[in-house]
Amino acid sequence: MKLRNIAIIAHVDHGKTTLVDKLLQQSGTFRENQRVEERAMDSNDLEKERGITILAKATSVVWQDTRVNIVDTPGHADFGGEVERILSMVDGVIVLVDAAEGPMPQTKFVVGKALKIGLRPIVAINKVDRPDARINEVVNEVFDLFAALDATDEQLDFPILYGSGRNGWMADSPDASPDVGLAPLFDLVLKHVPQARVEDGPFRMLGTLLEANPFLGRIITGRIASGTVKPNQSIKVLSRDGKVVETGRVSKILAFRGLERAPIDIGEAGDIVSIAGLLKGTVADTFCDPAVNEPIQAQPIDPPTVTMSFIVNDSPLAGTEGDKVTSRMIRDRLFKEAEGNVTLKIEEAADKDSFYVSGRGELQLSILIETMRREGFEIAVSRPRVVLEKDEAGEILEPVEEVVIDVDEEYSGVVVQKMSERKAEMIEMRPSGGNRLRLVFHAPTRGLIGYQGELMTDTRGTAIMNRLFKAYEAYKGEIAGRRNGVLISNDKGEAVAYAMWNLEDRGPMMIEPGAKVYQGMIVGEHNRENDLEVNVLKGKKLTNIRTTSKDEAVRLTPPIRMTLEKSLAWIQDDELMEVTPKSIRLRKIHLDPNERKRFERSKEALTG
């Protein structure tokens, strides 16, 4: 059968996964009466809840007499490592662009990678039915972007389709009838994307995606570069530098047939398949015939820019809510994650009780923490720090990101002011339609940690921020952090509403009455810059005198809800976030007040 391998790339929320749904429906993959969930490719719980794609996934459809393998990719820059690897599996890309927003940073990032390895793109302008669509300007912006990314003349001569993924149509003109469906897109893929590349020689395949299956063990997905593979065939695994990782037999070969994976008798060159039966082979390794000695060159992956410490939970409430609390369990889980996610780097600390986990951004690390807590883990996590480097002259370099903020004109002043406080440099300011401005900054990653929540508050939730790693540049100097101190519990027990009511003028609380607290735990934000120890356990003195006074009913202000991402951004260097399956608590690293004072003195002595 003829084969085409394509990836769909786009920015967050531009409609990739919805378009794949419609491609599956219109190619006859589903029965007429089959009930299919929306965004069928987002299979992970977190993906469904947040409405974002985290893991790249493949599917396949048959159009006329050709099998089209389609890969749905994540749109967030934090999961860009998934996209970089995927591009080695495909021969063409569909670049999906929102008709109102135009090409955004993540589009630029992935298109740059695709153009570099010589893929010829098809541009699909999506959501043309939006009232604020500006179709001609967006087409020009896409052309300018391709030119800026050094596209060849052949790549610049890209075909364009217009349509609406949600309504299931794409056509040569934005004014076409929605009845045409997605046939023009399928026909263009068959015409424009070359037949799957095939090399001569014995079986070779580059591992691209790794997953664990309870029945089949490790499953590696990739595209067969040359030769064929059958069940029970002996193969070996080569690492990137050509060393033999292991030899073994293929127990099963699975190919994508719609949303399902079906066992097949032979995997042929050019097809995207999954193989099971090997114990050690991982992403970026070459799976090949025993006669092959040269590995396939894997695309280099951009380095991680943010690091955090994952520490064994040692709070007084440790082990009361989760069942996976030991350092060995946490270590095994983190190293297992790093196997399948090449953008993560895990290092064990000398004390064996903490691990340094480095990744692309806070979102990637917070998704890992959320996944672990759902699996029953209890951990303490430090504030995210950026990964600094030194150049040849010994100068300190830090990661700088390109930040694009779309905001209503009335809020642009406060955004510019806050970004300049965070040492950001404004590059561009232009109208983006509908009384909105597009602001482009180059900002140090350090300054952006925790800014998302503040931006939402400053702009009444109307701003959209997108970020993309640009380069390592000279250190920009100190950036002011959180200005307020914290309220710290001075004892262990359950919080009492009366005590919290009396403390309300000290600052907003973060806990509910009846919440379990312990010495050193953060229970609220102080109105002033210093930290303050408070007693949230003190009840009202009771007498046998009855009274009709009004202070019987304690009316508390609702507490600040600290989500996982908000907590990560809010804590300081001397604080930790304690994460369990049921709770998120904030605490000081040193729970004992005397230890805290000793630590502060020693820090002052060092800096002084």
Q: How far apart are CA 253 and CA 552, in angstroms?
A: 71
What pLDDT is stored for residue 82 in this prediction?
Answer: 61
Q: What is the CA radius of gyration of the chain?
A: 27
- The neighbouring-strand residues paired with 308 are 357
Nearest to 340 by CA among 204, 206, 208: 208
Please tell me whether residues 268 and 168 are part of one structural domain: no
Q: How far is CA 124 from the centre of its chain?
A: 24
What's the pLDDT tens digit per position in 571-584? 888 899 999 999 99
Instruction: Give yes or no: residues 164 and 32 share one domain.
Output: yes
CB 556 within 8 A of CB 496: no
Express each pLDDT in 402-412 by its tens digit. Answer: 888 888 889 99
pLDDT at 75: 58
Note whether 566 and 448 are same-domain residues.
no
Q: Which pLDDT does position 76 carry in this prediction? A: 59
Task: Report yes or no on 535 lying in a domain.
Answer: yes
Please give the DSSP secondary-structure letter assigned to residue 568. Answer: H
Q: How confident is the model at residue 124 (pLDDT cuts 50, 70, 90)?
A: very high
- Tell me whether residue 330 is in a domain: no
Helix (H) or strand (E) holding 439: strand 436-444
The 10s digit of each residue's pLDDT in 176-228 is 888 888 889 989 999 999 888 888 889 999 888 887 777 888 888 889 999 99
14: annotated binding-site residue? Answer: yes
Query: Does any domain span residue 65?
Result: yes
Residues 74 and 147 occupy one common structural domain: yes
Residue 117 resides in a domain: yes
The CATH number assigned to the domain holding 441 equals: 3.30.70.240
Structural domain ending residue among the three candidates 165, 192, 219:
192
Q: Say yes or no: 21 and 125 in one domain.
A: yes
How far, CA to CA in Å, does 231 sit from each of 89, 105, 228, 267, 594?
22, 43, 11, 9, 65
> What is the tens place of the pLDDT at every residue in 411-447?
999 999 999 988 899 998 988 767 888 899 999 988 8
Cα distance between residue 567 and residue 317, in whole Å? 19
218 and 124 in one domain? no
Q: Does the pLDDT value for residue 161 go beyond 90?
A: yes
Does 250 belong to an annotated binding site?
A: no
Give percent of the chain with pLDDT exceeding 90.
28
Task: Show which of 131, 161, 192 is a domain's final residue.
Answer: 192
Structure confidence at residue 33 (pLDDT): 45
16 is in an annotated binding site: yes
pLDDT for 31: 47
Query: 457 labelled as ligand-binding?
Result: no
Check which CATH number belongs to the domain holding 131 and give it: 3.40.50.300
Q: Is 479 within the bounds of a domain? A: no
Q: What is the CATH number of the domain that holds 213?
A: 2.40.30.10
Give residue 81's pLDDT: 60
Please check if 15 is assigned to a binding site: yes
Determine if residue 13 is labeled as part of a ligand binding site: yes
Residues 11 and 152 occupy one common structural domain: yes
- 13 & 151 share domain: yes
CATH number for 556: 2.40.50.250
The whole domain housing 167 covers 2-192
Q: Are residues 453 and 600 in the same domain?
A: no
Output the pLDDT for position 366. 86
Quick count: other Cβ atoms within 10 Å of Cβ 575?
20
Which range (25-39, 61-75, 93-107, 122-136) has the least confidence?
25-39
- Determine if residue 407 is labeled as part of a ligand binding site: no
Tally the residues of the chain.
608
Q: Tell me: the pLDDT tens digits for 3-48?
A: 889 988 887 677 777 887 788 777 765 544 454 444 444 455 555 5
Q: Cα separation of 151 and 117, whole Å? A: 11
The total number of structural domains in the chain stands at: 4
Q: How confident is the model at residue 84 (pLDDT cuts 50, 70, 90)?
A: low
**pLDDT tier for residue 125 given thresholds of 50, 70 and 90:** very high
Q: Does residue 245 form part of some domain? A: yes
Which pair of tokens denotes residue 320? 């009361």
Instruction: Report pLDDT for 61.
Output: 84
Range of 20-34, 248-262, 314-328, 450-464 with top mean pLDDT: 314-328
Q: Is 51 annotated as a binding residue?
A: no
Share of the chain above pLDDT 70, in %: 89
pLDDT band at 526 (very low <50, low <70, confident <90, very high): very high
Q: In the predicted model, is pLDDT for residue 94 greater than 60?
A: yes
CA atoms within 13 A of residue 78's CA, in its CB half-sphere: 19
Same domain? 460 vs 494: no
Last residue of a domain, one of 474, 505, 535: 474
Residue 62 exposure: Cα atoms within 13 Å on the Cβ side: 9
Determine the average pLDDT of the residues in 510-539.
Answer: 91
Query: pLDDT at position 561, please?
Result: 87
**Judgement on whether residues 525 and 564 belong to the same structural domain of the protein:** yes
- pLDDT tens digits along 318-356: 888 988 999 999 999 998 888 767 778 899 888 878 999
Report the range of poorest mean pLDDT among 149-163, 315-329, 380-394: 380-394
Please give the mean pLDDT across all residues of the chain.
84
Lowest mean pLDDT among 43-47, 57-61, 228-232, 374-378: 43-47
What's residue 328's pLDDT?
Answer: 92
Residues 442 and 528 in one domain: no
Is residue 253 one of the residues assigned to a domain? yes
Given a cut of 80, whether residue 57 has pLDDT beyond it is: no
Q: What is the pLDDT of residue 38?
A: 47
pLDDT in tens, 553-599: 677 888 888 888 888 888 888 899 999 999 999 999 999 989 988 88
> Considering the domain boundaries, does residue 39 fall inside one?
yes
